[in-house]
Structure 1
């Protein structure tokens, strides 16, 4: 029974959770997502505050429960070109992802008493993920069988559930601090597995490996009481133990390998302004992939496995506005911009992790059914803003020496793009006020 609870939470709250900003969710829950993820200095709901600034939960009194569930649709497309057998010719193809719909839940709980300086919170969020399913193809070179110099069926599934325990303290009626230890559960599946050494038959398939990690988040929140608000938070690197893969090769031989992939540190600052019927929020985040195991290194090992994803740091800007002029029906609009962590030199290494969304647009609303109960809904659409593109790479030592970086095959190309759509509904219930 003890092992069942964390397994059930992991299954429920991180099933195929796909990201929009690198492999990081741009927001959590219907309200925060509809504000573009902006919440560091404008805590409109407890989910956004618990995710982006633990100090901001000090603004909530009473005992509050949030639960949201969404249906996520993504449509990655994979393109590739290789030189043909005749000089001056090439072979090109396209493969559509057939992954389907993914659920996206979020649970948040906050309790505190009016007049008390202490506020506590609990959260269980699927905060990170990527996944593709590109079937084997005889027309797209990259998806041709490994016996034909392709990779065959390319499938990935990464999911991260984060549980946070939050404490916020009001230093004054305008200034609060907060701290949140975090506990993480992740799973990773790769097919074929490029982190393993290939044998004569190619790269192996593998089982779904799991890992656990720990980290923390600290935050500051300032409310001028005149409408202007400011906030800042720092989420540390989430340090994981290794994923342990059990591999099966095409010739039915077996082997095992390990791979470490942490979750990057995130720096957030935000401004908020509330006046009359409007709440406005803007957040800026820096995601530190360049100092994160699994992302900081790239290229081939001496045994031709992949060292890491090789991602650059990314900038995220989230903007949201809420209009409260309609009785019991607040309306929200949000926009999120994210830079691309994948440069052309490492595009090939990142075919399993194509969840890169440059522009995301959101609309949401709340129906305040009573003083204690509210219903929330939102819609999201995102696009990658064009293709991520680079050359196909080969770990052959002579190619690496003659065609840097990493053995780029002359005349080849691999690229991918995608769009995302999300419909989410949820509720807020106040137990006492």
Structure 2
């Protein structure tokens, strides 16, 4: 595909092409963090902080690419979430079952790993960090006094996507590997149909229906791996909070005048290889949504857009991941994984949660890799997330209405990728 000279520039070229897809990206989620960032990683349900799979492994742990070698990795995920709510005796949103539209999202990823003369590597990667999307049509709503739509202002929903562009420096020294990855984040956001909340906003002109707005920021990801023995490896990775620029067009929606930072996270795990062709993976991750007021503050915290104002009411998320990778032959590798995440949405915040019903908990994954020749392989995976629901009282900014809202979400996705070693 690329000549010897061209491959040195293939990674940055692919990253630029991937960045151009930002407005369409979303991904299987834990809260709104991604389950995994490549077909291989998704095949083990995102586990692998202590394990190195490919050039995209740096998205889980920057230290993981220290032993990968020169490699180009491209992937594509077809992601399909089903989400919505059921209203019972509601006095604000429509009663009955209401589902969000837009149930297909293409998700690309790309990474390029380049060894250096000192034994270290530099890695370039582009990937999406999950997403948060709902799109409710102009449904009939008898609670609007002649109006329509979930929130009495026509078609409603939100669309949040995040793209990470990272440059990683990683090196292995004896049994210890480390990695550091300065990372640029780009966010795109749009909200529609929220005019009913105008009276509760500090700036109704920057609340809704202002098209896509963009936000940028820089953060740092670091990681290490240590081989406790020939069979057991410990991994640790952390991501700082990304202080993002404000969404000026939505300063009347997000707390602090449009502030929507990306939360910090930490992951620790083990990789056990009882034999050379088998790896068993265990990860624990915590995502600190509570440090981002626009996400964590409750609906009753105050005016929309104000300092300390209302948010989505999300709690911190804890994730346990289990994965296994088995190389059955020189040509074939198989993967399986399971992840369980705590639900961030509490019963008191289900009404605003209609916009972001990220309530799924269990993730099941299966995948593999097929070696095509000495340099190329095809990676694939499928993930299934069964429906989960969260119920609570219907709330408006002035208090409960006496009705109930039950959020629901399920997900399914399929991924395919191509890896070339040099």
Q: Give the TM bin, normalised by the shorter chain.
A: 0.7 to 0.9
Deviations 1:329-356 (A, max 9, x none): 1011011111111111111122111133
- Structure 1, unaligned stretches of length 5 or more? 85-89, 249-256, 397-406
Task: Tell me which of 20, 34, 37 is aligned to 2:46.
Answer: 37
Partners of 2:145 and 2:176 lie apart in 1 by 55
- Counterparts of 1:7 and 1:113, CA distance in 2: 23
Cα offset, 1:299, TM superposition: 2.8
Shift, 1:124, TM fit: 0.4
Matches within 5 A, 1:26-425: 26-47=35-56, 49-61=57-69, 63-82=70-89, 92-112=95-115, 116-138=118-140, 145=147, 150-170=152-172, 172-193=173-194, 197-198=198-199, 204-224=208-228, 226-245=230-249, 258-274=257-273, 275-300=275-300, 307-384=310-387, 386-396=388-398, 407-410=399-402, 412-425=403-416
Q: Is the 8 A contact 2:141 2:148 kept in 1?
A: no
Cα distance, 1:271–1:155 mapped onto 2, change above 3 Å: same
Taking a change above 3 Å as real, the CA distance of residues 224 and 53 of structure 1, as seen in their structure-2 partners, is same
- RMSD value, Cα: 3.1
Distance 1:299 1:92, change over 3 A: closer
How far apart are residue 394 of structure 1 and its match? 2.1
* Secondary structure in 2 matching 1:361: strand
**Distance in 2 between residues matched to 1:246 and 1:127, nearest whole Å:** 21
* Residue 362 of structure 1, CA deviation: 0.9
After superposition, give the CA deviation of every residue in 1:255-286 in whole Å (9 maximum; x if it has no partner): xx941111110110010012232111111000
Q: How many aligned residue pairs are there?
A: 400
Assess, with a 3 A threshold, how the Cα gap between structure 1 residues 217 and 155 changes in structure 2: closer, same or farther. same
From the superposition, tell whether residues 378 and 302 of structure 1 become closer, same or farther in structure 2 (CA, over 3 Å).
closer
Per the alignment, residue 251 of structure 1 pairs with none
Q: 1:151 to 1:301 in 2, by over 3 A?
A: farther
| 1:47-66 CA distance string (max 9 Å, x none) | 1x2111111211122x2000
User: How many Å apart are 1:145 and its aligned residue?
Assistant: 3.4
How far apart in 2 are the matches of 1:236 and 1:143?
47
Which structure would you say has the larger Rg?
1
The residue matched to 2:290 in structure 1 has which SS?
A: helix
Instruction: Look up the SS of the partner of 2:158 in the other structure.
Output: strand
| SS of aligned partner of 1:349 | helix
Secondary structure of the corresponding residue to residue 365 of structure 2:
strand
- TM-fit CA distance, 1:198: 3.6
Deviations 1:288-313 (A, max 9, x none): 11112422323347656662122111
For residue 330 of structure 1, give the secondary structure of its aligned residue in structure 2: strand
TM normalised by structure 1 equals 0.84
Check whether the contact 1:137–1:144 (CA below 8 A) recurs between aligned residues.
no
Gaps of 5+ in 2: 1-12
**Alpha carbons 1:159, 1:187 under 8 Å: kept:** yes
TM-score by length of 2: 0.86
CA distance in 2, matches of 1:148, 1:179: 45
| Contact 2:303/2:310 (8 A) holds in 1 | no
